[in-house]
Structure 1
Amino acid sequence: MTTETPPGAPPRTGARLLAETVAALSERAPAIVAAAAEEMRDVRLALHFHDGSRVTMTARYSRLLVEPDLVGEPDVEVAFDDRAMNLVFDAQRPPVEQVLPQSLDVRGPRDRVLAVWRAFVLLSQRASGLRFVQQLWREYREQVPELWGRVTGESAPRVSPHGDGSTGWSAVDFLAARQPLDPGDQVVVGGTATAAPRLLWDGRRSTGWWEVRPVCDADLVQTMGACRARANREIDRLLPDREPKEDLYDLMRSYPTRQGKGLRPTLVFAACTAFGEKPENAVRAAAALELFHNGFLVHDDIADESTHRRGLATMNAEFGNGLAVNTGDALNLLAVDAVLANLETLGLARTLGLIQEAMHMCRESVEGQALELGWIHRRVVPPRDEDYFTMSTKKTGWYTCITPCRMGAVCAGITDPDVLGRFDEAFRLIGIAFQIQDDILNLVGDEALYGKEALGDLLEGKRTVMLIHLFREAGERERVRLGELLHRRRVEKTQDDAEELLDAMRRHGSIDYATELADRLAAEGIARFERDLAIIPENEGKAVLRQIAHYVTTRPL
């Protein structure tokens, strides 16, 4: 990760540093952002920095949204000068010592100030130990040393946005005014008796600022990259080194080597590790799932007449349907062979469990594909979101989210259906949310980042939540026109047809509706994750599972 300022970029400021930090955490450690967002809840926070820059921070579900300058009326305002900025990530001093006289000013109702306090203490305690955050702040400090000023001791000008501070109250005043509950409730700091740390109460619960639940946060981008690379090495090992290379085995390497996210292998490795086994036990299962996945993608691209996959031409577009069908078949056969190869390392019982999970996943996937293709063939737009939920769970939810977790657990020796079933509802909801966001990205995402044909879903006639909502909201006359556009054959549709459908979705609020729905489903899935998987102790594997559970709510839309 590099944070070098490119030529012509805006100057580095405190506001920009905060925005970059939240963006990096949202991508690489989303569970930390989600925990801070839970503390912030409905608080609108305005931050004033020593260099004159300002931002507004709010929480939306599991996201922290950072907007430049001040937006709306804030609930809490915080301003700090150069001394306070120097101490933000000083791990050697407790937070109470970082509030220097006339250095930090906080305004707002006490319950909301405390909510902000908890959020930022949590961010500093969990995020400051991550390498990419340390690098971000180190490079910021090195590149703009003039923003940091004096560290301690010397007087500094007050930078409160409220002038001389003669009205309202400051964080310093609040801390200085605290009184112990009884004479024994004191601690001595530097020879001076002062109040012991109080519990921070929001009316529903109370915790000390020093109490942060022990979790193992990981860099999700780095973890997914490593898991994807390990699965790909195993695929290379499994692929035969013989003819016909050009028309079969080289083609079989094509899709797996394209830069996918690595979501499935990461879930397999993480679930296996969460149950106490070494991740190497899951390497063949991870490779098998990637082979199944890529075989499905090859066949899916043929059925949808797609032209691009992960930024490159689809196999059917480049080599024709014949070679593409055969390559997809071969990938699925090799996936079965990869599952069976676990006999020599994991034994019969675990291998039988993996076979059962893989076959169930394949059955769900072809049933989901049949539902979607049947709607397109019969020119039907289902009326209910629940119809989409069923199709999405079957077509992609099982092989994207649920089965990888279950297979990873089986690799660790878990075969009890009740234990394996604890993954199902949480990752069903998370999988639907993930797919809705994928559908949204196809409409509004950056094609270079998304890696698929722009508006490809509209050209292919896919029945997305946005399309279902549009047909529910549009009047009868408009639905006739929309149906005329939608039901044209793929080769007959133009980009203008897709743009007309997209414009109608925007007019009727279909994209906003889908975004809100995905957020709500993801939040429900995360709640189920914490409740249903409480049987798994906190460890590195579970931490990665949690990061992925939150990943769907932090992807940029």
Structure 2
Amino acid sequence: MTTDTGTPASAEIGPGTGAALLRHTIGALAERAPAVVAAAAEQMRGLRLGLSFNDGSAATLTPRHSRLVVNAGPAQDPDVEVVFDDRAMNLLFDLQCRPVDQVLPGSLDVRGEPERVLAVWRAFTLLSQRASGLRFVQELWEDYRQQSPALWGTDTRTDRGEARTDPPEATGWTALDYLNRHRPAPATQDAADAGIGGRLVIPPRPLWSGHTSTPWWEELPLTDADLVETMRTVRDRVADEMWHLIPDREPRRDLYDLMREYPARQGKGLRPTLTVAACVAFGGSAQEAVRSAAALELFHNGFLVHDDIADESTHRRGLPTLHTAHGAGLAVNVGDGLNLLAIDAVLSNLDTLGLARTLGLIRETLHMCRESFEGQAMELGWIRHREVPVEDEAYFTMSTKKTGWYTCISPCRIGAVCAGVTDPAVLDRFDEAFRLIGIAFQIQDDVLNLIGDEALYGKEAHGDLYEGKRTVMLIHLLRTSPDLWEHEILRQIVVRPRPEQSTASVRVVLEAMHRHGSIDYAIALADDLAARGIDHFERDLAVIPENRGKAVLRQIAHYVTTRPL
């Protein structure tokens, strides 16, 4: 199990140290700029890096598929070792010096075979040049400096600990002086409101398009393309649109107030961001996609209400499910109402997008719903008839139909239609990339249900085992269990209806999954599917020019490969 920074939960890294700064920086990038982490991991593939810092702390950095994992303490048999003194720390994130000038005799001690050292250097060049544009990373490094102001120069806080408003004095740390001179202005509400109109986030420059970044010799104002901030901005704007679409009239208590319960338990904003980014990628404005993104979220929440009833789930995003709190009758009606509002929202695009685009949106929406219903029927049918598929491919088909279309593929296609793209040959270019990415995302969600933190995951821990979900782990377990007696016992447990399940029986299945490597198998399979999806993204979507919208789509594609499990 790993923390949200990719560091094993048992590891201990002292606060305020260079090792802690590394862990927090990698964790922030994995969440906020995953394409950067994936690119750095690709450069370091197969290498183990040991780092020692000027404060006595140490850490190990290891690529794992498209992730970078930070472990506390000195590395065991590292391929490359790097030792930083004070001067080397001063230059680590310095965009004003060429990377080759940062290796100073007697300052930055690097040991290892030349090819491996160069691979590590390329990885850190990617991290340093592209991460420094993120406001969140800037704040991490600024906090690190504040803990030892004498080491770096003048403190930038007043005697009472408040941030100075006057221009900061020179610190003696070139990189920090550069950041101070180009500090982004705080985002105002007016700026945030304006940002949704034609741009994805404020301020406007993306961190990295995926292929190029601002060269070290160009001193442009530092701005961010933080994926978390981008998704939050889009999510909040789309949530406002949803609130306007839900009527404010009677019966409030038993219908319209209940319609707001699941949308209020906000997720990350993946679907709305895909919709808006695809629209912008094809030359549309973000505002043109907001209504359709809101319709997708209404469909999503309606599906969730019905899914929770069918699955007999007890919790959704950390709170009781709607049918648990208010009864199945009211919950079914709320789910129906949300789906009706979603259809109305799609049709209301006639006023703003015109007939052709609205007809395209209707066609995409109907296809999405049909795929989802068919996938739900497959999964419920397996449970109803006490069947467990033998091969992973059956799971892939079900997962793509049930969640892949409305979570990944359809949001992209609908966003493109909002920009005026109705040619099926162009829209189909999204399908294979986001089919593979969607399956990988669902497998990771299934894994998180077994090994993730319930408070972060937002659903009942081990709920999939209680519900008898036919996950990749379960299919692998029954396919590979060599002992016929054990196989029959496991099969009898997993096909039981939920009311007949117990904590003890669920524990038996979970322990067997660990023992037979089913969870590790699923993680590796998800990584492979996501990597194949990204390959298709680059090939199939080459028709889209490199722009802000495509950059965000690429970041989301890489988010699947970098999020910690």
Are positions 1:140 and 2:159 aligned together? no
1:278 is aligned to 285
Matched, 1:53 2:44: no
Counterpart of 2:133 in structure 1 is: 129
Given candidates 395, 401, 408, the residue that maps to 2:402 is 395
The 5 Å alignment of 1:115-194 reads 115-145=119-149, 148=152
Single out whichever of 461-470 and 70-79 deviates more from structure 2: 70-79
Write out aligned runs for 1:128-277 (5 A).
128-145=132-149, 148=152, 218-277=225-284
Q: Show the counterpart of 1:296.
A: 303
Distance 1:396 1:103 in 2: 52
Q: Which residue of 1 aligns with 2:364?
A: 357
Name 1:43's counterpart in structure 2: 47
1:75 paired residue among 72, 76, 79: 79
Cα separation, 1, equivalents of 2:366 and 2:76: 53
Query: Is 1:508 aligned to 2:512, yes or no?
Result: no
Shift of 1:10: 2.8
Partner residue of 1:19 out of 20, 23, 37: 23
Q: Which residue of 1 aligns with 2:532?
A: 524
SS in 1 for 2:89: helix
Shift of 1:146: 5.1
Could you tell me which residue of structure 2 aligns to residue 94 of structure 1? 98
**Partners in 2 of 1:239 and 1:13 — Cα distance?**
49
Q: Is the 8 A contact 2:129 2:216 kept in 1?
A: no
> Which of 548, 559, 563 is equivalent to 1:540?
548
The code of the aligned residue for 2:241 comes to E
Equivalent in the alignment of 1:377: 384
Question: Moved runs in structure 1, 4+ residues, more than 4 A?
Answer: 146-153, 209-212
CA separation of 1:11 and 1:240: change in aligned 2, threshold 3 A: closer
Question: Size of the alignment, in residue pairs?
Answer: 496
Which residue number corresponds to residue 486 of structure 2? 478
Partner residue, 2:393: 386
Q: CA deviation at 1:151?
A: 5.4
Residue 223 of structure 1, CA deviation = 1.1
Residue 133 of structure 2 contacts residue 224 of structure 2 at CA under 8 Å; is this kept in 1? no
1:427-506 alignment, distance < 5 Å: 427-474=434-481, 475-506=483-514
Distance 1:495 1:245 in 2: 38
TM-score for the superposition, normalised by structure 1: 0.86
- What letter is aligned with 1:491? P
User: 1:186: which partner in 2?
Assistant: none
- After superposition, the Cα gap between the structure-2 partners of 1:9 and 1:45, relative to the gap in structure 1 and judged at 3 Å, is closer
- Residue 375 of structure 2 corresponds to which residue in structure 1? 368
How far did residue 31 of structure 1 move? 0.8
Report the Cα offset of residue 333 of structure 1: 0.6
Q: Do the aligned partners of 1:126 and 1:217 also contact (CA within 8 Å) in 2?
A: no
Aligned pairs for 1:397-436 within 5 A: 397-436=404-443
CA contact (8 A) 1:467 1:505 kept: yes
Q: Deviations over 1:233-288 (max 9, x none)?
A: 11111111211111111111111111212110010011001111110000110000
Separation in 2, partners of 1:537, 1:433: 26
Matched letter for residue 436 of structure 1: I
Matched to 1:78, the amino acid is V
> Bigger CA drift: 278-287 or 32-41?
32-41
2: CA distance, partners of 1:101 / 1:461:
61
Question: Cα offset for 1:210?
Answer: 6.7
1 CA distance for matches of 2:278 and 2:329? 37
Distance 1:151 1:211 in 2: 20
Worse-matched range after superposition: 70-79 or 33-42: 70-79
Whether the 8 Å contact between 2:52 and 2:74 is mirrored in structure 1 is no
Please give the per-residue CA displacement for 1:450-507, whole angstroms capped at 9, x wherever unaligned: 1111110000000000000010111221122112221222122122221111111111
Assess if the C-alpha contact under 8 Å between 1:77 and 1:108 holds in 2: yes
- Alignment of structure 1 residues 293-332 onto 2, 5 Å: 293-332=300-339
| Offset, 1:44 | 1.5
| Aligned-partner Cα distance in 1 for 2:355–2:286 | 19
- 1:347 aligned counterpart, secondary structure: helix
Checking the alignment, whether the CA contact within 8 Å between 1:85 and 1:148 is kept in structure 2 is no
User: Distance between the aligned counterparts of 2:388 and 2:291, measured in 1?
Assistant: 40
The corresponding residue for 2:191 is none
Change (3 A) 1:19 1:152: closer
Deviations 1:350-380 (A, max 9, x none): 0000000000000000000011011101111
Superposition RMSD in Å:
2.2
Matched-pair contact (CA < 8 Å) for 1:34–1:63: yes
Letter in 1 for 2:318: G
Rg larger in structure? 1
Cα distance, 1:12 vs structure 2:
1.5
Q: Is 1:339 the counterpart of 2:343 in the alignment?
A: no
Amino acid at match of 2:547: N
Deviation at 1:123?
1.1
- Residues 160-200 of structure 1 show CA distances to partners (whole Å, capped at 9, x for unaligned) of xxxxxxxxxxxxxxxxxxxxxxxxxxxxxxxxxxxxxxxxx
Once residues 281 and 293 of structure 2 are traced to their aligned partners in structure 1, the CA distance between those partners, rounded to angstroms, is 15
**Inter-partner Cα distance in structure 2 for 1:331 and 1:211:** 52
What per-residue deviation string (whole Å, max 9, x for no partner) do you get for residues 494-550 of structure 1?
A: 222211111111111110110110111111111111111111122111111111101
8 A contact 2:13–2:72 mirrored in 1: no
> Cα gap change, 1:10/1:110 in structure 2, threshold over 3 Å: closer, same or farther?
closer
Letter in 2 for 1:355: I
Whether the 8 Å CA contact 1:289–1:404 is kept in 2: the answer is yes
* TM-score (normalizing by structure 2): 0.85
Give, as a single letter, the amino acid of the residue that structure 2 aligns with 1:77: E
**Structure 1 residues 152 and 12, CA gap change in structure 2 (3 angstroms):** closer
Residue pair 1:75, 1:112 contacting (<8 A) in 2 also: yes
% of aligned pairs identical? 70
- Give the secondary-structure state (helix, strand or coil) at the position aligned to 2:260: helix
What one-letter code is carried by the residue in structure 2 that aligns with 1:335?
A
